[in-house]
Amino acid sequence: EPEVTQTPSHQVTQMGQEVILRCVPISNHLYFYWYRQILGQKVEFLVSFYNNEISEKSEIFDDQFSVERPDGSNFTLKIRSTKLEDSAMYFCADGAGYGNEQFFGPGTRLTVL
Amino acid sequence: KQEVTQIPAALSVPEGENLVLNCSFTDSAIYNLQWFRQDPGKGLTSLLLIQSSQREQTSGRLNASLDKSSGRSTLYIAASQPGDSATYLCAGASGNTPLVFGKGTRLSVIA
């Protein structure tokens, strides 16, 4: 059964460094999302992406964040200058269409030191 | 703005018991509601999706219902097993908006 995959599973970085989190969505899905979950807190929406552009973003998704679908299969989240408070589990998700079920990847645990 | 609340925050039951997890939401214009399972330190596994035009969905021992007028959804787990121990999250979307999550109910099924 097709599934969303994410790499790396765990990323440790120093404050101020750039990180890129990678996701491979299910091949025929059209809507892509990034969410994050700080330890012990709710899963929070970051950004949605459709038709090669951002369709919606939250207040969390500031200028330090960017997303890209560089080659039609991968979907990446870049954090330009990481802060301690960026430490969280980052989930990629996708959906086949409007209002469809969303499928989540296993997550990347980002630790900023 | 959609807000999702789950009660109780934690629940412990003996194996074999039937149980109900509750989810409430504030925006009755909800388009769909999705239930997930999350094991510690792991990703989210989709269990059931209920579209706004549906009243319930079933998958195996799981049954989820949606009542838009009262702003409530329930997840019913029949004949619970220790392997059902996990955190259960509900999340609602209004149209093609992102999912808004509750904080989850941590379920422990005791053998």
Tokens of A86: 């960026």
Task: Say yes or no to pLDDT of A33 above 90.
Answer: yes
Q: Do A98 and B91 touch (CB under 8 A)?
A: no
Residues in chain B: 111
State how far the Cα of B37 lies from the Cα of B56, in Å rounded to an integer.
Answer: 18
pLDDT average, residue stretch A74-94: 96
Tokens of B110: 């005791």
- Give the model's pLDDT for residue B89: 98
Distance from CA of B38 to the nearest CA of A (A): 10
- The helix/strand/coil state of B93 is strand
Distance from CA of B16 to the nearest CA of A (A): 29
Tokens of B86: 């996990």
State how far the Cα of A112 lies from the Cα of A89, in Å rounded to an integer.
Answer: 11
Task: Say yes or no to pLDDT of B63 above 80.
Answer: yes
CB B47 within 8 A of CB B59: yes
